[in-house]
């Protein structure tokens, strides 16, 4: 790698492709431009390695999602008993693989081209985004729609704001919002998801059914044996990912925790005031967390360090409001049975404002203290 | 008749001083009436007519208007013309006037009108004012039509109500993009046009600091 490097440095014959070389070098090896002498200890853990830890944390949800695609498929055609879990998993893998390829090819393609045009290094933000996209769109979305939505999100939510680290909105969520607006998906699955059934439910007692009409329990929803987008079905797998993110210190426990607190609090509140007009208020708070994309949004979307709040107090407020708004949209807006993703996007807008207020409040407090001590 | 100055009044608003792209005026109606091509074209013609005529009228009476009440006088003139256009549309093209609903009436509040009356008609004689009105109306109309073209094509698969995307595309999984019908995509379409326009006219680009 180092041997071919001079060709890409300014003056070399391939210097135009420098950003491509740079991207590949840091992706495959630990770059040797960390400081090696002096008193500064410089961690070899760069942005790319941080991103890869997020991918590791996504793995349980993804692997389970693949299995669940197969499970739902074979359940629908009534061959669950005669099919091994491996066959189901392979079915799911083959179903989701083209989406992953399309998402990465389109997204990275745009990033590479943009980096070449601007003469910058390739930013690696898309590593995670590219994996999140297949996990939050329904498995039966046409591939070209995924490609269009990804291109739209990368160009309009990221590149026009200045690339990785400058975006206001979470890019993966913009992709989903694009598909939602385009009318291809209603709530993460074109069939009847539990939340989709909830929103059209009539009556005072709530019973939900899976593809073949068996009732769904909270336990099924927690484990993930329910229809939904690949990544978001299994709350358990998401929690494993959450543990990885928290132990490695990549995600903010303040945001993640307060989203769940906010969701549970609002879930308890709406459950205390049940109404037949808003059927989702019949779900208890635990069900609210387990169904739909709430847990996935809390663990992988809200904790995005770029689009979220950065001050500690701000992170509590930011997370709590995501939880509250997610349940609010889900319960009181029957047009959108799934509110978690929209809540994160909405709070993305407010994150800088929250940070500003927290910082200003701190400045004012210190000013008062300084004056009092004078 | 068409001196250099008059030519500038007529042609500059088409690109270099485009009211929508460069001055960012009239955005509200650009978002509202561009879901399909037909109302956009009718809206453009209405704006051109109102703008040119009000420019001429204000220019004719510019020396008699007391400065302190000039805005009121301008509004009265524009409002009268808008009512005429509205009644004309109701009489001859009822369906489109239904689609445009309040937006014909809201031409009164279109910033382009007040802007041109204040900036041009009050200081110029009728003929250049007329050309200026036509030019700015066209500049606005072009953008309206471009935006409406893409929104109708991608959102409904039609142009002026005729199906242009062949059925075999739908059979192979193509879908109309419902998002194009919604107002946000009008904003993004205008943004794309501004992007292309600035890329071609580098002197219009703001310098970043």
**B72 touches B131 (CB < 8 A):** no
Spatial neighbors of A93 by CB under 8 A, at least 6 apart, are: A66
- What is the structure's pLDDT at B129? 92
Q: Which residue has the tokens 């030519």?
A: B7
Q: Which of A142, A144, A182 sits opposite B179 (nearest CB)?
A: A182
Identify any residues that bridge with B158 across adjacent strands, giving them in sequence order.
Answer: B163
Nearest by Cα to A171 from A121, A130, A213: A130
Mutate to test the interface with A, among B157, B175, B191, B195 (most CBs of A within 10 A): B175
CB < 8 Å to B182, chain A: 181
Between CA A158 and CA A133 the distance in angstroms is 15
CB < 8 Å to B188, chain A: 156
Q: Which of A178, A181, A184 sits opposite B175 (nearest CB)?
A: A184
Task: Give the Cα-Cα-Cα angle A118, A102, A111 (nearest 5 degrees).
Answer: 10
pLDDT tens-digit profile of A4-27?
665 555 555 555 565 666 666 666
CB contact under 8 A, A182 and B184: no
- Note the helical H segments in B93-206: 94-100, 102-105, 111-119, 126-156, 167-171, 183-200
CB contact under 8 A, A182 and B175: yes
- Note the helical H segments in chain A: 18-28, 47-76, 85-118, 126-136, 143-152, 171-181, 194-199, 218-223, 235-247, 253-272, 285-290, 294-296, 312-332, 340-373
- What is the structure's pLDDT at A15? 56
Rounded to the nearest 10 degrees, the angle between the axes of helix A171-181 and helix A126-136 is 30
Residue A286, number of CB atoms within 10 A of its CB? 16
Distance from CA of residue A117 to its chain's centroid?
Answer: 29
CB contact under 8 A, A183 and B184: no
Q: Exposed, middle or buried, B178 (CB in 10 Å: 0-12/13-18/19+)?
A: middle
Which residue of B lies nearest to A140 if distances are taken between CA atoms?
B173
Between CA A288 and CA A218 the distance in angstroms is 10
**A231 touches A136 (CB < 8 A):** yes
Between CA A222 and CA B23 the distance in angstroms is 54
**A89 touches A73 (CB < 8 A):** no
**A309 touches A144 (CB < 8 A):** no
Nearest by Cα to B44 from B141, B186, B119: B141
Identify any residues that bridge with A125 across adjacent strands, giving them in sequence order.
Answer: none
Walk along chain B (209 residues) in steps of 10 and give the mean pLDDT of each run.
Answer: 79 84 84 86 92 93 90 92 92 86 83 88 90 92 92 85 79 75 86 89 74
pLDDT tens-digit profile of B60-90?
998 998 989 988 999 999 999 999 999 999 9
Tokens of A293: 């994309």
Between CA A72 and CA A74 the distance in angstroms is 6
**A100 touches A134 (CB < 8 A):** yes
**A136 touches A232 (CB < 8 A):** yes
**A308 touches A297 (CB < 8 A):** no
Rounded to the nearest 10 degrees, the angle between the axes of helix B70-92 and helix B111-119 is 130
Spatial neighbors of B116 by CB under 8 A, at least 6 apart, are: B51, B55, B132, B133, B136
CB contact under 8 A, A182 and B188: no
Tokens of A272: 């205390």
CB contact under 8 A, A182 and B177: yes
From first to last of the 374 residues of chain A, give the pLDDT tens digit. 556 665 555 555 555 565 666 666 666 655 555 555 555 555 555 667 777 888 888 888 888 888 888 887 787 777 766 777 788 888 888 888 888 899 998 988 888 888 877 777 776 678 888 888 888 887 777 888 888 889 988 888 888 887 777 888 888 888 888 887 776 544 444 444 666 666 555 555 555 655 555 666 677 777 777 777 777 778 888 888 888 888 888 888 889 999 999 988 888 888 888 776 777 777 778 877 887 788 888 888 888 888 888 888 999 999 999 999 988 888 887 667 677 888 899 999 999 999 999 999 999 999 999 998 87
From the CA of A261, how many Å to the nearest CA of chain B?
33
Between CA A283 and CA A289 the distance in angstroms is 10
Identify any residues that bridge with B159 across adjacent strands, giving them in sequence order.
Answer: B162
CA atoms within 13 A on the CB side of B166: 3
- What is the structure's pLDDT at A180? 79
Which residue of A lies nearest to B180 if distances are taken between CA atoms?
A182
Q: Which of A142, A178, A183 sits opposite B173 (nearest CB)?
A: A142
CB contact under 8 A, A183 and B178: yes
Between CA A123 and CA A236 the distance in angstroms is 32
CB contact under 8 A, B173 and A181: no
From the CA of A88, how many Å to the nearest CA of chain B?
26
Mutate to test the interface with A, among B178, B179, B183, B208 (most CBs of A within 10 A): B179
Q: Is the predicted ipTM greater than 0.90, yes or no? A: no
CB contact under 8 A, A181 and B188: no
- What is the structure's pLDDT at A190? 41
CB contact under 8 A, A181 and B179: yes
């Amino acid at each position: 790698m180092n041997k071919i490097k001079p060709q890409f440095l300014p003056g070399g014959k391939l210097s135009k492709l420098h950003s491509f070389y740079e991207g590949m070098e840091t992706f495959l090896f630990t770059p040797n431009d960390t400081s090696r002498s002096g008193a500064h200890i410089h961690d070899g853990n760069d942005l790319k390695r941080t991103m890869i830890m997020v991918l590791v944390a996504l793995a349980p949800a993804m692997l389970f999602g693949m299995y669940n695609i197969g499970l739902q498929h074979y359940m629908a055609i009534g061959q669950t008993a005669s099919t091994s879990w491996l066959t189901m998993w392979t079915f799911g893998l083959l179903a989701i693989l083209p989406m992953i390829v399309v998402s990465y090819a389109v997204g990275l393609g745009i990033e590479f081209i943009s980096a070449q045009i601007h003469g910058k290094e390739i930013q690696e933000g898309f590593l995670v985004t590219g994996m999140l996209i297949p996990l939050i769109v329904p498995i039966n979305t046409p591939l070209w729609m995924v490609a269009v939505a990804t291109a739209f999100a990368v160009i309009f939510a990221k590149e026009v704001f200045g690339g990785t680290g400058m975006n206001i909105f979470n890019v993966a969520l913009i992709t989903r919002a694009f598909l939602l607006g385009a009318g291809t998906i209603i709530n993460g699955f074109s069939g009847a998801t539990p939340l989709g059934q909830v929103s059209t439910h009539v009556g005072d007692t709530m019973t939900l059914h899976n593809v073949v009409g068996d009732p769904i329990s909270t336990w099924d929803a927690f484990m993930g044996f329910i229809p939904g987008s690949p990544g978001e079905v299994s709350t358990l797998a998401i929690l494993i990912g959450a543990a990885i993110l928290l132990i490695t210190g990549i995600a903010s426990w303040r945001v993640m925790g307060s989203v769940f607190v906010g969701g549970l609090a609002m879930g308890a509140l709406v459950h205390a005031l049940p109404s037949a007009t808003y059927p989702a208020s019949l779900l208890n708070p635990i069900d609210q967390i387990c169904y739909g994309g709430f847990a996935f949004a809390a663990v992988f979307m809200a904790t995005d360090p770029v689009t979220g709040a950065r001050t500690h107090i701000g992170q509590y407020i930011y997370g709590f409001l995501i939880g509250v708004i997610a349940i609010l949209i889900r319960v009181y807006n029957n047009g959108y049975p799934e509110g978690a993703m929209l809540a994160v996007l909405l709070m993305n807008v407010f994150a800088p404002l929250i940070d500003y207020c927290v910082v200003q409040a701190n400045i004012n407090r210190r000013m008062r203290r300084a004056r009092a001590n004078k | 008749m068409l001196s250099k100055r008059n030519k500038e009044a007529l042609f500059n608003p088409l690109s270099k001083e485009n009211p929508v792209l460069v001055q960012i005026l009239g955005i509200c109606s650009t978002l509202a009436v561009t879901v399909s091509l037909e109302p956009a074209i009718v809206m453009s013609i209405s704006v051109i007519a109102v703008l040119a005529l009000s420019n001429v009228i204000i220019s004719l009476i510019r020396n008699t208007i007391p400065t302190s009440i000039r805005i009121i006088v301008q509004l009265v003139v524009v409002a009268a013309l808008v009512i005429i256009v509205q009644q004309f549309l109701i009489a001859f093209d009822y369906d489109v006037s239904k689609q445009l609903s309040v937006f014909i009436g809201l031409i009164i509040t279109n910033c382009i009108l007040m802007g041109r009356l204040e900036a041009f008609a009050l200081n110029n004689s009728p003929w250049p004012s007329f050309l200026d009105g036509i030019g700015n109306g066209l500049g606005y109309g072009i953008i309206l039509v471009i935006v409406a073209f893409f929104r109708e094509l991608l959102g409904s698969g039609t142009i002026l109500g005729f199906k242009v995307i062949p059925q075999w595309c739908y059979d192979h999984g193509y879908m109309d993009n419902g998002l194009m019908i919604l107002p946000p995509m009008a904003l993004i379409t205008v943004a794309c046009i501004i992007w292309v326009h600035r890329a071609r006219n580098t002197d219009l680009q703001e310098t970043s600091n």
